[in-house]
């Protein structure tokens, strides 16, 4: 069988459910092989859409097998790059299969070959934004190279991998007769924490007067939600999440604090500033979640215990008292066992939790008028408040996505998550338009639950044709597009400096703020379009 057929059969044996892609002359054999399996193909309108669909499929599942992306070479492959970067910095596993021209023509400058610095060097573009990117150069080693890349995607810190296979190699007959057992190539146990580090960390936590736990993607990828909740409850530990960690801890729980940092909750910021021991689990300390690295006073006032599956993230930003290379779930379990052995409990933390609760009540009272505005115009806070109420009433397990822009400043704080299936950009690469195609992947991953995305008009216009894909495949979902005819986040930031430059979409001749009619756009793609102007309209639209 050919490398394309062998790879497709391996993915089928691994239980892969979906591949997303765009056809091009460079990937014909790959697509033909995948179409002959039970794996369902989804035609995207652009290659970056395919990546975002696979990205949100993973976020909705948080376990192998990942989804697959298929693209042709040259510009098709290049369209993947910004979306791959978003997945890479969000620790999202996916597999991209990319075509290229015939290998016997490399260095001639054949169609779509990146040849001016050497034979077909497009792969160099993908290396900074993938966990692994490689070019297959022999048909007889293609499957083995793919297996290593696949394993890389789903072990350790998950991430996207990209395998580029030239046109001729895709279809060359080889001696492959049997497909390897996927388990034999992916049976890699996650790392357990060092016992000495666990004891050091437990001693710090047991002695802490004002401990705080902050969690992010690492808890999601370890599927450690229940372990984290039990840990916090048993030892009276307040828990914060980052944007990317939203939903990892129940937001109606008395131990839940909120999201600290820039655009976070004031009570979370106060807790972060006041804590004496900080336990960070699967969290990178980005500039957004630390307010430009000004939030914590580490190590002078706060001692840091940092747990991460990736050793490169430990002590990247702050010096640590204890650094622990470990899977989040295994680390939480080990810490709970060590604290229990010390006789620790949550009894001594009541005053600290009550102090945080006081800050929380102050914040909610302060924000109450913003939440209750009726409109028009419809503002962010009431939109999010009503949408969250609708989700809780209709299906608390609804998939909810927040895109880049001003909505990301409000969403994580004002939308109260009712499940772990609330996903935001990670606060690092922050690619605009991520949620529009991403919602397709989220809905396919969990077809029994509704899907809802919040996005601005700037983001929507970048990837809005993904609505057509949802219509093609009969996927009911709701996009709430905040249409202000402007890059509002940039406009508000510029205002701090007394400037207003290049932010608004206008008719040049008249200066009138303008956008295409979004309702008509939706209708032209086969979807239903509605215009909302008041808080009282939101619940009805989301629940329909």
Rounded to whole angstroms, the Cα distance separating 461 from 183 reads: 42
CB–CB of 265/291 below 8 Å? no
Residue 214 is predicted with a pLDDT of 99
Dihedral sign from CA coordinates of 520, 521, 523, 529: negative
Residue 427 is predicted with a pLDDT of 65
What number is the average pLDDT over the span 53-67? 98
Percent with pLDDT over 90 in the chain: 88
What number is the average pLDDT over the span 265-274? 95
How would residue 450 be classed by pLDDT, with cut points 50, 70 and 90? very high
Q: Which of 170-179, 272-281, 441-450 has the lowest average pLDDT?
A: 170-179
| Token representation of residue 454 | 């919040």
User: In the chain, what are the helix, strand and coil shares in percent, each to the nearest 5?
Assistant: 45, 15, 40
Read off the pLDDT of residues 82-122 as tens digits, 9 standing for 90 and up.
999 999 999 999 999 999 999 999 999 998 999 898 899 99
DSSP secondary structure string for all residues of 10-51: HHHHTT--EEEE---GGGHHHHHHHHTSSPEEEE-SSHHHHH
Percent with pLDDT over 70 in the chain: 100
| Token representation of residue 179 | 């497909």
CB–CB of 227/332 below 8 Å? yes
Rounded to whole angstroms, the Cα distance separating 328 from 224 reads: 7
What number is the average pLDDT over the span 294-320? 97
CB–CB of 39/30 below 8 Å? no
Query: For residue 44, how far is the Cα from the chain centroid?
Result: 19
Looking at residue 541, what DSSP letter applies? H
Ramachandran area for residue 280 (φ above 0: left; ψ -120 to 50: alpha; else beta): beta
H-only helix segments in 97-141: 123-126
Rounded to whole angstroms, the Cα distance separating 281 from 324 reads: 9
Residue 383 is predicted with a pLDDT of 94
Residue for token pair 């992010």: 216
Residue 491 is predicted with a pLDDT of 87
Rounded to whole angstroms, the Cα distance separating 25 from 31 reads: 10
Residue 432 is predicted with a pLDDT of 95
What number is the average pLDDT over the span 354-377? 92
How would residue 496 be classed by pLDDT, with cut points 50, 70 and 90? confident
Query: For residue 39, how far is the Cα from the chain centroid?
Result: 23
Looking at residue 140, what DSSP letter applies? G
Residue 382 is predicted with a pLDDT of 92
How would residue 424 be classed by pLDDT, with cut points 50, 70 and 90? confident
Q: What angle is formed at CA 23 by the lines to CA 17 and CA 24, rounded to 5 degrees?
A: 145
Residue 426 is predicted with a pLDDT of 61
Dihedral (C-alpha) 55, 166, 155, 419: value to the nearest 10 degrees?
10
Mean pLDDT of the chain: 95
Q: For the chain, list the domains and their CATH numbers.
A: 3-186 (3.40.50.970), 195-359 (3.40.50.1220), 372-543 (3.40.50.970)
Residue 128 is predicted with a pLDDT of 97
Query: For residue 347, how far is the Cα from the chain centroid?
Result: 36
Given a cut of 70, is residue 289 above it in pLDDT?
yes
């Amino acid at each position: 069988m050919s490398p394309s057929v062998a790879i497709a059969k391996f993915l089928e044996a691994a239980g892969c459910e979906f591949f997303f892609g765009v056809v091009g002359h460079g990937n014909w054999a790959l697509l033909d092989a995948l179409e002959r399996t039970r794996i369902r193909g989804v035609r995207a309108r652009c290659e970056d859409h395919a990546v975002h669909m696979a990205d949100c499929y993973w976020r909705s599942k948080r376990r192998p097998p990942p989804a697959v992306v298929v693209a042709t070479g040259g510009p098709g492959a290049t369209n993947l790059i910004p979306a791959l970067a978003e997945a890479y910095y969000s620790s999202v596993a996916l597999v991209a299969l990319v075509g290229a021209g015939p290998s016997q023509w490399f260095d001639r400058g054949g169609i779509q070959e990146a040849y001016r610095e050497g034979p077909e060097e497009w792969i160099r573009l993908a290396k900074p934004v993938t966990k692994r990117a490689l070019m297959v150069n022999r048909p007889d080693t293609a499957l083995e190279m793919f297996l290593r890349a696949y394993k890389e995607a789903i072990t350790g810190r998950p991430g996207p991998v990209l395998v580029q296979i030239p046109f001729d190699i895709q279809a060359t007959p080889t001696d492959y007769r049997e497909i390897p057992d996927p388990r034999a190539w992916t049976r890699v146990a996650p790392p357990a924490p060092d016992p000495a580090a666990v004891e050091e960390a437990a001693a710090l936590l047991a002695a802490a007067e004002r401990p705080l736990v902050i969690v992010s993607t690492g808890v999601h990828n370890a599927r450690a939600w229940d372990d984290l909740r039990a840990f916090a409850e048993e030892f009276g530990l307040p828990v914060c999440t980052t944007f990317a960690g939203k939903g990892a801890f129940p937001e109606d729980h008395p131990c839940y604090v909120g999201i600290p940092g820039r655009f976070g909750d004031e009570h979370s910021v106060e807790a972060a500033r006041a804590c004496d021991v900080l336990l960070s689990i699967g969290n990178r300390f980005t500039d957004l979640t630390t307010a430009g690295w000004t939030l914590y006073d580490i190590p002078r006032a706060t001692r840091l215990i940092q747990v991460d599956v990736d050793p490169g993230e430990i002590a990247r930003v702050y010096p640590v008292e204890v650094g622990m290379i470990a899977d989040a779930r295994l680390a939480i379990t080990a810490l709970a066992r060590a604290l229990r052995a010390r006789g620790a409990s949550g009894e001594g933390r009541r005053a600290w939790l009550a102090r945080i609760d006081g800050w929380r009540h102050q914040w909610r009272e302060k924000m109450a008028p913003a939440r209750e505005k009726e409109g028009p115009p419809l503002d962010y806070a009431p939109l999010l408040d009503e949408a969250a109420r609708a989700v809780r009433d209709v299906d608390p397990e609804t998939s909810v996505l927040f895109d880049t822009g001003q909505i990301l400043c409000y969403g994580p704080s004002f939308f109260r998550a009712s499940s772990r299936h609330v996903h935001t950009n990670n606060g690092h690469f922050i690619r605009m338009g991520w949620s529009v195609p991403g919602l397709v992947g989220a809905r396919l991953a969990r077809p029994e639950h509704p899907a809802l995305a919040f996005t601005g008009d700037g983001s929507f216009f970048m990837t809005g044709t993904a609505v057509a894909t949802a219509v093609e495949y009969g996927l009911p979902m709701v996009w709430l597009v905040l249409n202000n005819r402007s890059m509002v986040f940039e406009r508000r930031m510029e205002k701090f400096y007394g400037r207003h430059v290049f932010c608004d979409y206008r008719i040049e001749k008249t200066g009138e703020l303008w956008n295409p009619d979004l309702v008509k756009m939706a209708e032209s793609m086969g979807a239903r379009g509605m215009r909302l102007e008041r808080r009282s309209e939101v619940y009805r639209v989301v629940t329909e």
